[in-house]
Every structure is written in structure tokens, then in C-alpha cells.
Amino acid sequence: MLSSLSRIKNITVRKSLLNEIPDISIDRGQIEETICNMLTNSIQAIKKTGEIFIKSGTSDNNIIIEISDSGEGISKANLEKIFTPFFSSKEYGKGTGLGLSIARRIITEHGGNISASSKPGKGAKFLHNTSAELG
């Protein structure tokens, strides 16, 4: 999905992923849905050309997934609202505004947290910290 969508828009995807993923107990479908939602947001935030950077790592007992992009970014005022259900800046009919609120629920249910930072015009960065039991 990512490669076909990003080809249309000329998006370069860079990855820095864990070589060895520890055995963890997660709801695979839900985590996949979350990552898919975030990547869709990044693709939508890039108008014509840009980059998406996907990073994974561990820290203490946490799995960290970082997704950042060089898209339009998020204004300071909107940054406070983006995880609120039905908040969307997309044109009518384009976004339900549920993607990030569902993502937050899923990550919270996995014992983690999710946060976003952005400089408008300089892209957005989302950090998922899934503190699943390792090993």
C-alpha cells in the first residue's frame, strides 16, 4: 500500500528498523491498523514530494515506533486537538477524524503512549511507545 501510494506522490520512504524484534505480546491486527493510519496521514500531509521516515527501537521495556514526515506539519492550535475523536482538518468527506483517536486507544490498551510534535511547514513526528512485556 505504502509503496504504490508513495510512488504516485514521489515520496521517499526511509527505514531504520530493529534487526531483531523481541518476542512481544501484541494484537498484531490493531498495531498494523495503527501504523497504517499513521502512514496514510503522512502520505496525505505530503503534497507532491517528500519523505517519510520509519524508525523502530527498544528502550528499557518499551518498543518505540517513530513515524515522521516532511509534510505540511501541524499548527500549534491543531496539535492539541488531533487525538480528539472526529477532529479533522481534511476537506468535507475526506477524513472522519477517527484515525488518531483509535491509534491512541490501541496504544494505550497496549500499555504505551503516543505523542506528536511538529513545526508547521516542517513536517510532523509521531512517537508510539508500546510498553509490551519483552521476552
In 3-state terms, what secondary structure has residue 73? coil
Contact 73, 118 (CB under 8 A): yes
Q: Could you say which of 71, 99, 112, 123 contacts Mg ion (CB under 5 A)?
A: 99
Interacting stretch for Mg ion, rule CB under 5 A, among 9-17, 35-43, 52-60, 64-72? 35-43
85-124: contacts with ligand ATP (CB under 6 A): 87-90, 95-101, 124
Handedness of CA 56, 30, 133, 100 (dihedral sign): positive
> Considering only CA atoms, which of 133, 128, 98, 101 is closest in space to residue 113?
128
Restricting to residues 16-55, name those near ligand ATP by CB under 6 A.
37, 41-42, 45
The listed partner (Mg ion, ligand ATP, none) that binds 74, CB under 5 to 8 Å by sort, is ligand ATP
39 contact choice in ligand ATP, Mg ion, none (CB below 5 to 8 Å, kind-dependent): none
Residue 9 vs 90, nearer CB to ligand ATP: 90
Q: Which amino acid is it at 18?
A: L
Query: Which residues are CB-contacts of 19 (< 8 A; sequence separation ≥ 6)?
Result: none
Find cell 496504544 and name the residue. 107
**Residues in the site for ligand ATP, rule: CB under 6 A?**
37, 41-42, 45, 69, 71-74, 78, 82, 87-90, 95-101, 124
